[in-house]
């Protein structure tokens, strides 16, 4: 016989409403003043939790309402209905930020949010609205400073593209993550070409959600996991709100971000326009970008809401080209490419229906699509130090047309008298993409018209269609074994059909330039595969503010069409290249101690089978080139940790001040465990610095805030052979260790906010990327010392 517990446990529940109109308020955060966050209200304003305390002081927090405290005596189940008063006074940005920072330090995703399950997973949420980063130029080094282990390509001063990886994943265009905006796909082609040419403007973001490899079951098979950009929401208590931000900076940088939004009865809206232009920090690197976004929402009832979004991006940038190691040593900011250009035209759309069948059953349906193109034009050669002869340029044109839908149903139920949550979902995705490669003009302007009539014997000619199809059924189930321990098994049934249908030209000339061979090679391929991915998550919460978590999840990455069909002078592609498989393991502990220390520390391991990479290979004509192929099996493992200390609360204890110190550390090692290539087994895996350190201090007094951040990454390899010395093209070789120091300030006065900063204040000459294609090939240097100043007005 088991003895009954002497400590009674009672439930506290209630509804939080607006004191002005009695409407329910969702996403109100409910805190125990002593130990931290307890729960959040749902769409009906309802909250509930259990406690063993005899008395408790609750704090109710919502961004647009006054904070309310309530002392509760708990001798039985308590029903506590609370009304919050809307903010009547005008608060400065810093005052609003301070209100939020008083309550929590670091946000992580709850076990269940809307129709998603995150229990047992490693989740990190970047609170962009509170960031001191250079938002105007999407400075990823600063924005993602507290996300453990990220490896970031830093090669422009405008932030036109996001390039993040980690745990040995290539950062190029974030292609190893499933990339979404407000929950729907935004990359070119999720399976055929998962590169993210579009990156949302950081000034428009509320937060960025990052879920590591265990996200493969709910969001797609990628090894990296999920990156979800959550856009700012319409102001729920004002019919009209205006924010305009103007930024000037080094190298002719100018940006404008202007947004309006609001809510009137059941209708809500948010829209912005973002303009950027600049000369770039190298010669031949000017750019101009235009980005527009519109969100409309209509709440039919408290249970049913329809939302629609349209996003448009167009930018043109001149590309200064890549360098080899000798050129970088002579002058890291030189350029010998004046005729290379790159253009993006991106149109995204999404329609979302949310419906609550009951208090315990939620349903969402997303219908999304993309119509986009990217054009790359320029002179490319394996010898990057070769001067441009001024002849016809290489032109690659890509068109992406895809659509799909994702439906999710989440239900909370009881299993053996314990709470449980079940999620089932399905996804359909169809893409019809084309790629065309051939001669461009011999001029210097951004002319993206194909010039086949003028140059019929141009050697790099191909045309392909890529009709891809993906269907998936997925599910996860949280089972709470007791009040502290949960397990979350899951599955994903995946069907992938990728096709390529087209031709390429084989054209040979003699020493005098006369054509001796001109043949068209028809090329068609179809790959079908169906498989199941499995995963399991475990969470143990000894109290409300700490958790031990662990998960294991299978991953899969299909061969993309750039892996098999694009002609590149810097490398060749093996005809035998095939898909990658593997799995990810995470074990960690995270929590918040009395709002003084926020922490997340864990061990991970990533197991790769048939990893795709580069090796040096000698060919029959005597040349030596990099070959892209399945290099072999590999394992990556390491420790990732983040500690954020609220020094003000620990020592100063004065609400006029804010004072925080954080340290973000990753110690990672790796090894190729098997390879069919000579000299690879036992080597280190590329794109892995053994030490990845980011640390910083934020200090503020009232409306004045300052931030200093230091970044250090040790050296890393870029190919499986672990070459240290660079080759002629600059594609292969080591990326040396580097360190960067950034400083930023902000001051708020009434409706105005002034921001300023200096990035790379020590003027370190370094690079983070050896590009295999555009914007190279070769070493792409990172920005030297540069400054920015932003003036914001909010009405």
pLDDT digits (tens, 9 = 90+) for 671-683: 999 998 888 999 9
Residue 754 has pLDDT above 90, yes or no: yes
| Average pLDDT for 519-542 | 92
Residue range 301-339, pLDDT digits in tens: 989 999 999 999 999 999 999 999 999 999 999 999 999
- Write out pLDDT tens, residues 696-731: 999 999 899 999 999 999 999 999 999 998 888 899
Q: What is the mean pLDDT of residues 137-162?
A: 91
- Give me the pLDDT at residue 609, please: 95
Residue that has been written with the tokens 């093209």 in this structure:
729
pLDDT in tens, 336-347: 999 999 999 999
**pLDDT > 70? residue 43:** yes
Domain limits, CATH 2.60.40.1120, in the chain: 10-89
Q: Is the separation of the CB atoms in 40 and 28 below 8 Å?
A: yes
Amino acid 564: pLDDT: 64
Of residues 2 and 408, the one with the higher pLDDT is: 408
Cα 326 off chain centre by: 33
- Looking at residue 539, its pLDDT comes to 95
Look at residue 4 and tell me whether its pLDDT is greater than 50: no
In this structure, which CATH number among 2.130.10.10, 2.70.150.10, 2.40.170.20, 1.10.357.10 belongs to the domain 229-391+406-449+459-794? 2.40.170.20
Q: Is the pLDDT at 235 greater than 50, yes or no?
A: yes
Q: Is the peptide bond before 775 cis (omega within 30 degrees of 0)?
A: yes
The 3 state secondary structure assigned to 290-338 is EEEEEEEEEECCCCEEEEEEEEEEEEEEECCCCECHHHHHHCCCCCCCC
Please, which residues have CB within 8 angstroms of residue 417's CB and are 6 or more apart in sequence? none
Give the tokens for residue 347: 């149109």
Residues 416-429: b if buried by 16+ CB within 10 A, e if exposed: eeeeebbbebebeb
What secondary structure letter does DSSP report for 225?
Answer: -
Look at domain 105-228 and name its CATH class. mainly beta
What's the mean per-residue pLDDT of the chain? 90
Range(s) of the chain covered by CATH 2.170.130.10? 105-228
What is the distance between the alpha carbons of residues 659 and 645, in angstroms, rounded to a whole number?
9
Question: Which of 104, 116, 47 shows the shortest CA–CA distance to 79?
Answer: 47
158 band by pLDDT with thresholds 50, 70 and 90 = confident
**CB 376 within 8 Å of CB 337:** no
pLDDT per residue over 594-605, tens digit each? 888 999 999 999
| Neighbouring residues of 39: CB distance < 8 A, sequence distance ≥ 6 | 30, 47, 48, 49
What is the structure's pLDDT at 620?
65
Question: Which residues share a beta bridge with 355?
Answer: 304, 363
Q: What is the pTM of this model?
A: 0.88
pLDDT band for 463, please (50, 70, 90 cuts).
very high
Fold held by 10-89: Immunoglobulin-like (2.60.40)
Name the CA dihedral angle for 757, 763, 764, 770, rounded to a multiple of 10 degrees: 70
Domain with CATH 2.40.170.20 in the chain: 229-391+406-449+459-794
Q: Is 544 strand, coil or helix?
A: coil
Q: What is the pLDDT of residue 563?
A: 66
CA dist 576 → 23, 528, 556, 564 (Å): 62, 16, 18, 9
Task: Specify the higher pLDDT residue, 282 or 616.
Answer: 282
What is the rounded distance in angstroms from the CA atom of residue 288 to the CA atom of residue 470? 35
pLDDT beyond 80 at 453: yes
């Amino acid at each position: 016989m088991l003895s009954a517990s002497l400590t009674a446990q009672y439930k506290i529940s209630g509804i939080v409403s607006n004191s002005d109109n009695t409407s329910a308020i969702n996403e109100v955060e409910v805190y125990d003043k002593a130990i931290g966050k307890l729960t959040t209200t749902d769409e009906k304003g309802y909250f509930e939790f259990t406690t063993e305390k005899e008395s408790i002081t609750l704090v109710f927090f919502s961004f647009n309402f006054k904070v309310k405290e309530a002392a509760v005596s708990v001798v039985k189940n308590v029903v506590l209905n609370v009304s919050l008063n809307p903010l009547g006074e005008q608060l400065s940005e810093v005052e609003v930020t301070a209100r939020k920072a008083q309550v929590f330090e670091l946000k992580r995703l709850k076990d269940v949010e809307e129709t998603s399950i995150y229990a047992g997973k490693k989740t990190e949420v970047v609170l962009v609205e509170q960031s001191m980063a250079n938002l105007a130029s999407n400075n990823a080094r600063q924005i993602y400073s507290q996300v453990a282990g990220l490896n970031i390509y830093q090669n422009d001063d405008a932030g036109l593209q996001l390039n993040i990886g980690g745990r040995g994943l290539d950062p190029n265009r974030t292609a190893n993550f499933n990339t979404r905006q407000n929950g729907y796909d935004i990359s070119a082609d999720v399976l055929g070409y998962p590169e993210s040419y579009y990156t949302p403007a950081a000034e428009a973001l509320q937060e960025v959600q990052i879920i590591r490899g265990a996200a493969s079951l709910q969001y797609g098979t990628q090894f990296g996991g999920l990156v979800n950009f959550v856009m700012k929401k319409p102001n729920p208590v004002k019919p009209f709100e205006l924010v305009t931000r103007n930024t000037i900076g080094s190298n002719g940088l100018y940006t404008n971000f202007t947004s309006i939004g609001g809510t009137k009865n059941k209708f809500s809206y948010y829209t912005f326009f973002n303009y950027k232009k600049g000369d770039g920090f190298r010669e031949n690197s000017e750019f101009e970008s235009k980005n527009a976004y519109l969100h409309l929402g209509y709440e039919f009832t408290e249970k049913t809401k329809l939302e629609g979004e349209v996003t448009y991006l167009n930018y043109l940038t001149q590309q200064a080209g890549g360098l080899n190691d000798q050129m970088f040593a002579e002058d890291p900011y030189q350029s010998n490419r004046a005729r290379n250009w790159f253009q993006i035209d991106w149109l995204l759309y999404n329609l979302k229906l949310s419906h609550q069948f009951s208090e315990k059953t939620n349903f969402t349906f997303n219908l999304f699509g993309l119509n986009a193109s990217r054009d790359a034009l320029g002179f490319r050669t394996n010898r990057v130090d070769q001067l441009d002869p001024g002849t016809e340029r290489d032109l690659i044109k890509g068109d992406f047309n895809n659509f799909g839908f994702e439906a999710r149903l989440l239900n909370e139920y009881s299993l053996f008298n314990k709470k449980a949550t079940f999620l089932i979902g399905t996804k359909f995705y169809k893409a019809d993409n084309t790629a065309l490669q051939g001669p461009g003009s011999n001029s210097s302007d951004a002319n993206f018209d194909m010039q086949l009539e003028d140059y019929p014997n141009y050697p790099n000619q191909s045309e392909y269609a890529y009709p891809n199809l993906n269907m998936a059924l997925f599910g996860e189930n949280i089972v709470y074994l007791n009040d502290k321990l949960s397990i979350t098994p899951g599955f994903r049934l995946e069907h992938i059909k990728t096709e390529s249908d087209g031709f390429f030209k084989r054209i040979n000339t003699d020493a005098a330039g006369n054509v001796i061979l001109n043949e068209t090679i028809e090329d068609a391929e179809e790959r079908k595969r169906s498989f199941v991915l499995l995963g399991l998550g475990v969470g143990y919460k000894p109290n409300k503010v700490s958790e031990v978590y662990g998960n294991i999840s299978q991953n899969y990455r299909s061969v993309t069409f750039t892996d098999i069909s694009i002609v590149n002078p810097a490398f060749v592609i093996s005809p035998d290249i095939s898909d990658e498989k593997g799995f990810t393991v995470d074990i960690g502990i995270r929590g918040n101690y009395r709002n003084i220390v926020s922490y997340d520390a864990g061990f991970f391991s990533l197991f790769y089978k048939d990893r795709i990479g580069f090796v040096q290979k000698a060919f029959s004509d005597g040349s030596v080139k990099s070959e892209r192929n399945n290099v072999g099996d590999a394992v990556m493992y390491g420790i990732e940790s983040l500690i954020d200390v609220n020094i003000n609360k620990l020592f100063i204890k004065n609400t006029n001040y804010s004072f925080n110190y954080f340290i973000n550390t990753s110690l990672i090692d790796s090894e190729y465990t098997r390879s069919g290539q000579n000299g690879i087994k036992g080597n280190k895996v590329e794109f892995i610095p053994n030490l990845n350190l980011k640390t910083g201090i934020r200090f503020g007094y009232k409306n004045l805030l300052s931030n200093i951040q230091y970044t250090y990454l040790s050296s890393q390899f870029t190919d499986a052979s672990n070459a240290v010395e660079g080759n002629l093209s600059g594609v292969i070789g080591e990326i040396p260790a580097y360190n960067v120091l950034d400083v930023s300030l902000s001051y708020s006065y009434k409706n105005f906010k002034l921001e300023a900063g200096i990035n790379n204040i020590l003027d370190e000459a370094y690079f983070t990327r050896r590009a295999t294609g555009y914007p190279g090939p070769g070493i792409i240097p990172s920005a030297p010392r540069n400054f920015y100043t932003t003036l914001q007005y909010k009405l």
